[in-house]
Homo-oligomer: A and B are copies of this chain.
Amino acid sequence: MTEQTSFDTPLKPTWCPGCGNHGMFKALKTALTDLGWEKHTFAMFWGIGCHGNGADFYDVQGFHALHGRSLPAATGFALSRPDMRTVVIAGDGDGYGLGLGHFVHSVRRNVDITYIAHDNQTYGLTTGQTSPTSEHLAPSVSTPGGVLEQPVNPLGLALVQGATFVARGFAGDVAGLTELYRLALTHKGFAMVDVLQPCVTWNKLNTFKWFRDRVYQLEGSGHDPSDRQSAVALSMKTFREMSCTPDECTIPIGVFYSEDGVPTYQDGLPQLDDGPLWRRAVQPRDVSGLIEVHGGPR
């Protein structure tokens, strides 16, 4: 049987017209196709949110997890299926709010997973509340007076925790995003791509235009993606100054940091050397050597 090559299901994407999710959908399908990933060679996981509605639109072997918990579900899978690859799609509310702990712990675990965040700086699906990456002082239905917190700095958090692949993409740059996905998907270890994804319905501040006026490509900018410290500095600069004017600041996109050869979590598990863990449950395991038996005929 040859596999169907299209990654589309019969269900048409229900994202709002013009939403950044459409470009991300396209970029990921293209990257998967370019890399020749067959559908039975990887599994996809989604959190809950507009991003997660994608679970209905990608024709894959997938798991639509709980809000904020796609990473642990994917980790359980990744640590029991060394024969497959694992891709996680998260939202900013989902992944950096509720799921922030799992995110940081996954980074320090360097678990071999590709992590893509649809970072629209809002809760799209639940009608536009403040998200962890919303701009400082941005108003929303849940914070009419403006968010009092500094936004989460996902790239910085990952970097200080020893992340081995950290990138930022922009949904308006589908070609660049496709390339970042290709790099992330083939990276060995935890590879994160935070994607600036305009939500045309709720986020009236961080629009396509707003980003187009500010983004620039890191590639060719002189940034050295093997320099963790300068990557951290870059992450902090942008995270504190996002609400600035285009003249005042710019937003780098591309690979912030990339490091090869760091052992993955899976590399530390000889348990995985002989394949998927369902193989353990074909025959009852002989536990007679694990328990001391006293008395009786010896």
Residues of A within 8 A of B (CB): 98-101, 104-105, 108-110, 132, 145-146, 148-153, 156-157, 159-162, 228-229, 232-233, 235-236, 239-240, 265, 268-269
Contact = CB atoms under 8 A, between A and B. Distances in A.
25 contacts: A98-B101, A99-B101, A100-B100, A100-B104, A101-B101, A104-B104, A104-B152, A105-B149, A108-B149, A109-B149, A110-B149, A146-B268, A148-B265, A148-B268, A148-B269, A150-B161, A156-B160, A156-B161, A157-B157, A157-B160, A159-B160, A160-B239, A162-B240, A229-B229, A229-B232
A104 B157 contact: yes
A100 B153 CA distance: 15
Nearest to A232: B232
Contacts of A156: 160-161
A259 to B, nearest CB: 12
Contacts of A132: 105
Nearest to A137: B268
A108 to B, nearest CB: 4
A157 B161 contact: yes
B100 A150 contact: no
B149 A153 contact: no
B145 A268 contact: yes
B150 A160 contact: no
A151 B160 CA distance: 11
Main secondary structure on chain A at its contact with chain B?
helix
B108 A151 contact: yes
Contacts of A239: 160
Chain A to chain B: the 8 pairs with minimum beta-carbon distance, closest first: A156-B160, A101-B101, A148-B268, A100-B101, A108-B150, A150-B162, A108-B149, A109-B149
A180 to B, nearest CB: 21
Given A104-B104, A232-B232, A233-B229, A265 B149 contact: yes
A168 to B, nearest CB: 15
A98 B101 CA distance: 8
Nearest to A229: B233
Nearest to A159: B160
Contacts of A233: 229
A229 B233 CA distance: 7
Contacts of A160: 153, 156-157, 159-160, 232, 235-236, 239
B157 A152 contact: no
Contacts of A157: 104, 157, 160-161
Nearest to A267: B148
Nearest to A237: B229
